[in-house]
Amino acid sequence: MDTLLTALADPVRWRLVGLLAERPRPVGVLAQLAEARQPQTTKHLQTLERAGIVTSQRSGRRRVYALRSAPLRDLAGALSRLADTADQEGGPRATYDRYGRSLRAERLAAEEPGWADGRSFRFHRSLAGRPELVWRHLTEASLLARWWTPDDLRVSELVFEARPGGRVVQEYRDAEDSDGSDPVAGRAEGVVEDVRPGERLGYRLSPVLPDGGIAFTAHVGIGLKPTGTGTDLEVHWRITDSTVDSADFVAGIEIGFGQSLDKLVAALAADPHDTGSADTRSAK
Q: What does the pLDDT read at residue 178?
A: 87
**Are 252 and 161 in the same domain?**
yes
Residuewise pLDDT in 10s, the chain (284 residues)? 899 999 999 999 999 999 999 999 999 999 999 999 999 999 999 999 999 999 999 988 899 999 999 999 999 999 999 999 999 988 899 999 999 999 999 999 999 999 999 999 999 999 999 999 999 999 999 999 999 999 999 999 999 999 999 999 999 999 999 888 999 999 999 999 999 999 999 999 999 999 999 999 999 999 999 999 999 999 999 999 999 999 999 999 999 999 999 999 999 998 756 544 444 344 44
Q: What does the pLDDT read at residue 90?
A: 85
By residue range, what is the domain housing residue 218? 92-270
**Are 60 and 193 in the same domain?**
no
- Return the amino acid letter for 133: L
Q: What is the CATH number of the domain that holds 256?
A: 3.30.530.20
Q: What is the CATH number of the domain that holds 54?
A: 1.10.10.10
**Are 72 and 158 in the same domain?**
no
Does any domain span residue 277?
A: no
**Are 53 and 106 in the same domain?**
no
Q: Which residues contact 174 (CB under 8 A, 6 or more apart)?
A: 152, 153, 154, 182, 185
For 199-227, give the DSSP string. Answer: TEEEEEEEEBPTTS-BS-EEEEEEEEEE-
Question: Of 43, 76, 109, at which residue does a domain stop?
Answer: 76
**Are 101 and 218 in the same domain?**
yes
**Are 43 and 149 in the same domain?**
no
d(CA 141, CA 145): 6
d(CA 167, CA 32): 75
**Are 156 and 226 in the same domain?**
yes
Domain count, the chain: 2
Q: What does the pLDDT read at residue 273?
A: 61
Q: What does the pLDDT read at residue 271?
A: 72
Q: Which residues contact 191 (CB under 8 A, 6 or more apart)?
A: 165, 166, 167, 168, 203, 204
Count the Cβ atoms, other than its own, within 10 Å of residue 158.
Answer: 21
User: The whole model's pTM is what?
Assistant: 0.79
**Are 99 and 40 in the same domain?**
no
